[in-house]
Structure 1
Amino acid sequence: MKRFTFDYTSPRVVFGAQSVSALPDEIRRLGLRSLLVVSTRDQHELAKDIVRPINDSIAGYFDGATMHVPVEVVEKAQRAFEDAGADSIIAIGGGSTTGLAKILSMRLGVSSLVIPTTYAGSEMTTIWGTTEDGLKRTGRDARVLPKTVIYDPLLTIGLPPAISVTSGLNAIAHAVEGLYAAELNPILEMMCKQGIVALIDAIPRLVAKPADIDARTDALFGAWMCGTALCHLGMGLHHKLCHTLGGTLNLPHAEAHAVVLPHALAYNLPNAPTARRLLEGVVGNDDVPGTLYDLAKNAGAPLSLAEIGMRSEDIPIVLDLALKDQYPNPRPLEPDGLETLLANAFYGRRPTFH
């Protein structure tokens, strides 16, 4: 075993069915007195229901969270926070809501509590991102990390199977890329493998029976593990491409991750023998990209970038942006190889892998 240093970073986690009932105790424990509730418009009523037991501590609501965290939405949310006289944030929803809460925490220097309703996993990371003028900017900052995350699988039962699947595949991508990160250590390796196994097992079950609480619990646990890996490990080509597809083309975040994942792995794994061996052990065969492609296909997830709004003329734009900045990745960024990857992902071809 190699020598390593592990500076573990994590919010407090309250996990399990009906754990949302711990919200009043968590608010008291953190000393929060005046909260702005952040959500999307679609989840405004759910958010109101969840915070009803702490109504006396609610300063106001902002339900304008949108994907990719546009800077203009951040400005509106900040004004809502200031107008309400809030001292902290409670975010209820998926990655868009969590992402907005993170930026507010960083800008305003305030605490947040997050209650996820999808499997994005971003609530466990110090990574933030905003989009401005068609470009997505990301970074890492400990100030964005929530003080507490409440994982209640009962809140994910109403998540439509299509979103559940793409959200779960998004989480798997975090752990998959983590397995070829330079910072990998035995603890994070275990978390990556646990997260991938939990989600690969849970996704077909929750598609077959969306109200299966055991499947939902396993998926949420997997998201927690994968998000923790994302917090501590560097990411490579897959995440770079998905940030470009989201920030520049405004493609839906989770769906882009679901489509790109097997193709990014087909590109990288021949140059990442340790990660390849670990992933073969996780999926039980030597065709990891094909296995993840089939998982998405059998679960009804989109298989092509064309399905989710990309045009063929966008391929050179994404290719150019992907090549602009070199970053750690198992395989060098090669124009011909990346063009093939993007074309295969655009048309939804099953990845070839040797």
Structure 2
Amino acid sequence: MSEHHAAPVTVLDTLPSRVLVGPGARHRIPGEIERLGARRVLLVATGSARAAADELAGALGPRLATRFDGAVVHTPVAVTGRAMEVVGRTAADAVVAIGGGSAVGLAKALSARTGMPQVAVPTTYAGSEVAPVLGETENGVKTTRHDLALTPGTVVYDPELTLTMPAGLTLTSSLNALAHAVEALWAPDATALSDALATEASDGILDALPHVLADLTALRGRERLQESAWLAGLCLARTRTGLHHQLAHVLGGMFDLPHAELHAMLLAHVMAFNLPSAPKAAARLERITGGDPVEVVGRLAAGHDGPTTLRALGVPRDALRAVAERVADRPYPNPRPPETEAVTRLLHSAW
């Protein structure tokens, strides 16, 4: 055997999770709880998923220990503390999260502290339900940790639960998912597996999103968006994030901004910044969009009926340089070095 290897050996930890996919998948949740041997379920839900949580609470019957509806964005440690008191009081032995990334994040934080199994039932396209990542906020600083044990053991994708998503959230949440895929394409540790996932995810989102925005109740389109967001979430688990996610973390932590809207408004700007330095990613995205990917994503983002600039989100213009300095000071791996001046210009264009 030759000792000369052309490239370093890649080692992949693929995640052990059980995934239920398809219309009506939510009706299988009580059976999954039984499979886990859990008797006292804590149901964590976000406000937007209240109707789905009510239905699930009924289906769990005597296995439901209690509900916790206080999940908020960026998983503040103080809120997790309040939920932990509920866990202690009710002797819960499993947690089911239903809703957006806030519910999933809180369930991960509880599981990390107790070791109890979690079932994630996402109703948006956040993707964090298949990522071994938890971002927690304390005193305006978001800290992210990676650990395979953080990933929910069971994930339930039921596209029927996404039919009530309003147009604005459908758009911003889809672009949030797209950001996971796009960043995987230019990641320094990209592999054949992550490239395949990211390419299929990007293609699915960019193909299905316009159809779903035209008819929010199109189940087939919703199914494709959800499946694509799942694949994009798997990218988060397999590659390191770059400038886009770093900007989202810094801005989100400093100014307590809505996660999906922030991703949606930043993505085209970061693509314009990075793609000239990432020819392979650019070629894939050009093939998918059949044109200029920056223009296609920028046009989708501009169609949002909510804030589409950092200015509209309330970020003060005189804070942009401080954000750029924080990014340049400890940069995430990125195809183009995020120098302070260049990142400040990017932020001004997003402002």
Please give the TM-score of this superposition, normalised by the length of structure 1.
Answer: 0.94
1:241 aligns with 2:271: no
Q: C-alpha displacement at 1:299, in angstroms?
A: 5.4
Structure-1 separation of matches of 2:16 and 2:181: 16
Aligned to 2:296: 291
Q: State whether residues 178 and 229 of structure 1, in contact with CA within 8 Å, keep that contact through their aligned partners in structure 2.
A: yes
Gaps of 5+ in 2: 1-5
In the TM superposition, residue 168 of structure 1 has moved relative to its aligned partner by: 0.4
What pairs with 1:25-174 in structure 2 (closer than 5 Å)? 25-174=31-180
Please name the residue that 1:318 is paired with: 323
Asked if the contact 1:207–1:299 (Cα under 8 Å) also holds between the matched residues in 2, the reply is: no
Q: Which whole-Å CA distance do the structure 1 matches of 2:51 and 2:123 have between them? A: 13
| Runs of at least 5 residues in structure 1 that lack an aligned partner in the other structure | 347-354
RMSD of the TM alignment (CA)?
1.5
Which of 218, 228, 233 pairs up with 2:234? 228
* CA contact 2:132–2:149 (8 Å) conserved in 1: yes
Structure-1 separation of matches of 2:273 and 2:192: 25
Alpha-carbon deviation of 1:41?
A: 3.7
1:301 positional shift: 6.0
Q: Is 1:21 aligned with 2:27?
A: yes
Which among 258, 282, 287 is matched to residue 288 of structure 2?
282
Inter-partner Cα distance in structure 1 for 2:135 and 2:197: 24
Comparing 141-150 with 304-313, which one deviates more in the overlay? 304-313
CA contact (8 A) 1:10 1:228 kept: no
Decide whether the 8 Å contact of 1:166 with 1:301 is kept in 2.
Answer: no
Q: Which stretch shifts more, 291-300 or 30-39?
A: 291-300
Tell me the distance in 1 between the aligned counterparts of 2:205 and 2:187: 20
Indicate the larger mover: 294-303 or 194-203: 294-303
| Counterpart residue type for residue 146 of structure 1 | P
Contact 2:52 2:161 in 1 (8 A): no
Secondary structure of the corresponding residue to residue 312 of structure 2: helix
Q: Is the 8 A contact 2:241 2:332 kept in 1?
A: no
Tell me the distance in 2 between the aligned counterparts of 1:294 and 1:315: 24
Cα distance, 1:148 vs structure 2: 0.5
* 1:204 and 1:299 in contact (8 A); partners too: no
Matched-pair contact (CA < 8 Å) for 1:127–1:139: yes
> Deviation per CA, 1:201-233, whole angstroms, max 9, x where unpaired?
121111111111111111100110000011111
Deviation, structure 1 residue 66: 0.4
Post-superposition shift, 1:197?
1.0
The equivalent position to 2:344 in structure 1, one of 317, 339, 353, is 339
Q: Distance in 2 between matches of 1:281 and 1:58?
A: 48
Quote the Cα distance in structure 1 between the aligned partners of 2:314 and 2:16.
35
The residue aligned with 2:272 is 266
- Aligned 8 A contact 2:136 2:144 in 1: yes
Contact 2:99 2:122 in 1 (8 A): yes
Deviation (angstroms), 1:333:
1.6
Query: SS at 1:150's partner residue?
Result: strand
Query: Superposition pairs for residues 297-308 of structure 1, below 5 Å?
Result: 297-298=302-303, 300=305, 302-308=307-313
Deviation at 1:48, TM superposition (A): 2.1
Write the letter of the residue equivalent to 1:92: I
SS state of the match for residue 307, structure 1?
A: coil
- Contact 1:124 1:231 survives alignment (8 Å): yes
Amino acid at match of 1:292: V
Aligned AA for 1:145? T
Alpha-carbon distance between aligned partners in 2 of 1:291 and 1:45, rounded to the nearest angstrom: 35
Larger deviation: 224-233 or 306-315?
A: 306-315
Letter in 1 for 2:320: I
**CA deviation map 1:122-148 (0-9, x unaligned):** 101001011111111101012211111
Counterparts of 2:158 and 2:247, CA distance in 1: 31
Question: Does the 8 Å contact 2:25/2:158 carry over to 1?
Answer: yes
Question: Is the CA contact 1:36–1:61 (under 8 Å) kept in the aligned structure 2?
Answer: yes
Distance 1:276 1:81 in 2: 47
**Over residues 41-77 of structure 1, what are the superposed CA-to-partner deviations in whole Å (9 max), with x where a residue is unaligned?**
4434431212322211111111000001111111111
Quick check: 2:188–2:335 contact (8 Å CA) kept in 1? no
CA contact (8 A) 1:123 1:145 kept: yes
Q: CA deviation at 1:187?
A: 1.9
